[in-house]
Every structure is written in structure tokens, then in C-alpha cells.
Structure 1
């Protein structure tokens, strides 16, 4: 059974919190291909949120290829290559780091200082 946590204090919309958490569970392998997700109604009841909010998150997950919905049967984790998902995420990280490197260069920040900054930020997030 997947466990999701919704924060009312978060700036992130509730549907986005659901979306992000389910994607993370799938990418990290905590939910595997073919595994059933709770029904939209059951998840809404469990999280004490609107069915519309849950439906929006599921629709977005399906649009992005993370889940498949079978009418009358429910929603399931899409059977896909986890390595491919990781590669997609890695590509986004590389793009963001390339932007950071360009900004650092234009500000006269050297590689060792940039690595130190990255290390501090990375460790801070843990």
C-alpha cells in the first residue's frame, strides 16, 4: 500500500504533491509495473481531499506515461523501463547543471568553487 503525505502548508498544489510522490515511488522502484494504485475515490477518502483533485493527478500521471488506466478495472503502474525513466531525469539534471555552469563562468566562479557550492547544496537537502 502506498503512503502519501499531503501538506496544506506547501506552496505546491495538492494534485502536484500526489503526482510528485507517486512518480518518485515508481522511479525508485517502490511501486512496480502492473501494481494497482488505489482507486481515485479510495485515495481521495484516505487523503481527505476532493475526488477531482485525485482524478487530476491520475490523469497527469497517465498522460506522462507513469500509469495506465483500464476502464472498470482501475489504474496500474505502467510497465516500463525504470532505467529509461532515470535517463529522462538525468537529462533534465544535466540541462539544469549546464545552466548553472554557464552562470558560474559568467560570474567568474571557478570549477572548484562551483563543486564546493554543489556539495553544500546537495548535503543540505539530505
Structure 2
């Protein structure tokens, strides 16, 4: 599993781990039944505290992305394609909410925000 974390970013380390695991699930890199490294092993690999990896795994389990079996490990939960798409849309909606709030904070109008969206949608982002 390939996870890169930045200690200089604003996003908490557990959140970075969590989001990257989700992205690997969404992209199909991680599939149903795939085993994840133990919390201790992942913490050691990423040079973070076990508490950090534990929080990421627990959050992902609560959200239905992972299942844990005592003594066996943590695995990617079964995902139906339509459920995965719904989760991806929900994530996008959360991101859009943040963008809209920031645009309002900056005093942008809906038309200005829409214009920016059009530019990015049509561009090579």
C-alpha cells in the first residue's frame, strides 16, 4: 500500500492516511477482501504513532470501507459499484461545500464561482 503523508500540511496525519486509502479503494487499487497492514506496521512504515493509524482505520471502519476481524486483520469491505459511486459523490459534495464556504468568505458571487468552475471543468486539471 502506497501512502505519502506530509507533516507540513494543514490536514491531520490520520486524515491524510484515511483519504489516501479511500482513493485507492475508489480507483480499484484496493479491492474487496484485500488485507491492510497492521496498525503497528503501517505506523512504523509511515513513521507516525499507532494512535494515528488506529484513528484512520477506525474511522474507515465506521464509514463502511473496512472490516476488522480480531486475530485476522483489517480488510477492504465489499463495495457495490453503485455504492462506491455514491460515496464518491458524497465526498465531492463535502469538498464543494468547503469551496462554496470559502468563496462566500472571499466575497465571490455565485456567478464568479460558477465562472471559476467552468474554467476548471474545461481546463486540463
Q: TM-score normalised to the size of structure 1?
A: 0.78
Residue in 1 that maps onto 2:23 = 24
Q: Is the 8 A contact 1:29 1:82 kept in 2?
A: no
- Cα offsets for 1:5-32 (capped at 9, x unmatched): 0101110000000000001100111100
- Cα offsets for 1:51-101 (capped at 9, x unmatched): 11111100001000000000000000001213312123325546848x96x
Aligned residue for 1:109, secondary structure, equals: helix
Structure 2 vs 1, CA of residues 25 and 92 (structure 1 numbering), >3 Å: closer, same or farther?
closer
Q: TM-score normalised to the size of structure 2?
A: 0.78
Return the alpha-carbon distance in structure 2 between the equivalents of residues 92 and 10 of structure 1. Answer: 20
- Which structure 1 residue ranges, 5 or more long, are not aligned? none
Return the alpha-carbon distance in structure 1 between the equivalents of residues 64 and 74 of structure 2. Answer: 12
1:101-112 to structure 2, matched below 5 A, reads 107=109, 109=111
Larger radius of gyration: 1
Quote the RMSD (CA, aligned, Å): 2.6
- Cα offsets for 1:23-48 (capped at 9, x unmatched): 11001111000000001111001001
Residue in 1 that maps onto 2:83 = 84
After TM superposition, what 4+ stretches of structure 1 lie above 3 angstroms from structure 2? Answer: 91-97, 121-124
Return the alpha-carbon distance in structure 2 between the equivalents of residues 119 and 33 of structure 1. Answer: 36
Structure 2 vs 1, CA of residues 86 and 72 (structure 1 numbering), >3 Å: closer, same or farther?
same
- Which structure 2 residue ranges, 5 or more long, are not aligned? none
User: What is the total number of aligned residue pairs between the two structures?
Assistant: 115
Q: Is the 8 A contact 1:27 1:82 kept in 2?
A: no
